[in-house]
Copies of this chain bind each other. A is one copy, B any other.
């Protein structure tokens, strides 16, 4: 779990890799199409893809000369759950503080 979150958050700490994920949520795409909007050399781009693959966020398959990349959505859900849990604890604390404040004697200053 820790390892999964480590590699997920590490993979998402880069705008190129986030852009690839944003594109792939709309459906699978060939590497060439994923690379096209990015002004970086193909080998550098392939390193980003490899990092996404290592984090379990994408998988790819080659047919003929075309490698097609697919998203694996499960790690996104794990990270979203973790963040949502933090928010709930935080908001619960704010609620309790707010109730405490309501019970304070009125400010007569």
A: residues with CB less than 8 A from B are 2, 5-10, 12-15, 18, 21-22, 25-27, 71, 73, 76-77, 79-80, 82-84, 86-87, 89-90, 93
Contacts and interface: CB of A to CB of B under 8 A. Distances in A.
Contact of A90 (B2, B15, B25): B25
A26 B93 contact: yes
Nearest to A7: B13
Contacts of A22: 86, 89
A58 B7 CA distance: 22
Nearest to A12: B9
| 3 nearest A-B residue pairs (beta carbon) | A10-B13, A9-B13, A25-B89
A51 B84 CA distance: 22
